[in-house]
Structure 1
Amino acid sequence: MVELFIHTRAGLGELFAADAASRRGIMQQMYADGLVLCEPAGAATRIKQQHAEEALREGPGALAPATVESRRYALTDELDGLVDAADAVERLVVANVALSTADLLFDHRRAWTGSGKWLSRRLLQADPEHGGAQLVQADEDTGRDVIHRFNEFGLAWLDPQWAGALHMPGAT
């Protein structure tokens, strides 16, 4: 199967900018991994090397500090809610905790995010040693263990200055 993408340079720049703003890097990945079939004057190779591959290496820009604080608060709120989870349905919130943790990891590592199968791929790219651990903790029988494990290493793993579990915006 072959997919053909045809873009103007200006249009491609707009697509790259939109993907950078969404922190997903979809078009950058497609152009970096894609096979160039025809390229007059080497333009496609230059775009691939100078724009797509470089953008993937650099990763998205840093989130604003207020956004990071807000996401940290949301994550600790989710963890706090999980402590009191009374049944399996409530413990499914573990999946949201994993996604919230992944968002913070992606920002801390200046890594591209993803969804579906790309979430696991991007987590492993961002942190080959620990990235997959965020996805294998959703078993309902281990929900409370996840909280304890996360409190032991979670926030410190994202950034050593965050060691110490629950955090409210503006608190130090």
Structure 2
Amino acid sequence: MEIKNRPEPVNAANLFIEKYFPNCDGAILAGSVVRGDATETSDLDIVVFDQNIHSSYRESLIEFGWPIELFVHNFTSYKDFFESDAKRARPTLPRMVSEGVILKGENVIVPIQCEADEILAKGPEKWTQDTINIKRYFLTDTLDDFIGCDNRAEGIFIVGTLAELVSEFVLRTNNCWIGKSKWIVRSLKEFDEDFASRYVKAFDTYYKKDDKKLVINLVDEVLQHYGGRFFSGFSLGKK
């Protein structure tokens, strides 16, 4: 992709809105270019609000030398996404709206940003004890698979599942938002930088040295606060 002499992110986003959505009610530029942690492969996340759009949609394209991820909503659809994102504990759209730089329609965008801020501040729905027990069981089951595994190829993928389950358990039991991919580490850092560092070190040590001890110790530490490993007595769906 040609990146020389391309416009700065905000300028490029404004040019994009002027070209494709000149009559929209509001628009926001979000993502890494706004947060200040952009890389060479970062794109522009642009959220558009247009009351004349019948249904929301997402589109990826390249314009003005930038890869662009476009999210288009009307004044009903964004509320549905806010709600669904909150239920799954991954506030993708609320976070984009909250952090975004307003490109157009400040009087429209500011109240929506306030809605997003309220959702983010409230946090996800608290897990019930039944949910915690279910998650403990599956975390224990995966840990047992990992401990007993003597096949390096299988272990690589078991530990990947274990990493996701651990991060989810830690964050949700502490009423924090979760993430996937790069947002796993980012979410853990927002919660506790020391734990995030130990989490990364544990899994990195396994990948580099085939040493399971730090991962096992980390999982046991996480489970200890909720009764430890859980296998005997687990039941699901029994009447």
Report the TM-score, using the length of structure 2 for normalisation: 0.61
Partner of 2:83: 17
| Matches for 1:16-165 after TM superposition, within 5 Å | 16-39=82-105, 42-49=107-114, 51-92=115-156, 93-138=158-203, 139-140=206-207, 141-151=210-220, 153-156=221-224, 160=225, 162-163=226-227, 165=228
Rate the CA distance shift 1:170–1:43 in 2: closer, same or farther, 3 A.
farther
Paired amino acid for 2:108: A
Query: What SS does structure 2 have at the residue aligned with 1:36?
Result: strand
The answer to whether the 8 Å contact 2:126/2:172 transfers is: yes
Structure 1 residue 75 displacement after superposition: 0.5
Report which of the two structures shows the higher radius of gyration computed on alpha carbons.
2
C-alpha contact 1:94 1:137 (8 A) present in aligned 2? no
Q: Secondary structure at the match of 1:5?
A: strand
Structure 2: 5+ residue stretches without partners? 1-8, 14-45, 50-72, 235-239
Give the superposition deviation at 1:23: 1.2
| Contact 2:124-2:176 at 8 Å conserved across structures | yes
Identity among equivalent pairs (%): 23
Deviation at 1:78, TM superposition (A): 1.2
Cα distance in 1 between the residues matched to 2:76 and 2:182: 30
CA distance, structure 2, for counterparts of residue 4 and residue 17 of structure 1 = 17
- SS of 1:154's partner is helix
Corresponding position: 1:166 with 2:232: no
Which amino acid is 1:168 matched to?
Answer: F
Change (3 A) 1:148 1:12: closer
Deviation at 1:30, TM superposition (A): 0.3
- The alignment's C-alpha RMSD in Å is 2.2
Contact 1:91 1:143 in 2 (8 A): no
| Cα displacement (A) at 1:45 | 1.2
How far off is 1:97 after superposition? 1.4
Residues 114/87 of structure 1: CA separation in 2 closer, same or farther (3 Å cut): same
Distance 1:34 1:149, change over 3 A: closer
Give CA deviations for 1:38-69 in whole Å, capped at 9, x if unaligned. Answer: 236x33112212x1112112111123432221
Q: CA deviation at 1:4?
A: 4.2
Task: Name the SS for the 1:62 alignment partner.
Answer: coil
Higher relative contact order (CA 8 A, sep 6+): 1
- Counterpart contact for 1:123–1:131, Cα < 8 Å: yes
Number of equivalenced pairs = 163
Uncovered stretches (5+) of structure 1, i.e. residues with no partner = none
Contact 1:29–1:56 (8 Å) recurs in 2: yes
Cα separation, 1, equivalents of 2:78 and 2:218:
43
Question: In proportion to residue count, which structure has more helix?
Answer: 1
Q: Distance in 2 between matches of 1:25 and 1:149?
A: 26
- Using the alignment, how far apart are the partners of 2:195 and 2:218 within structure 1? 13
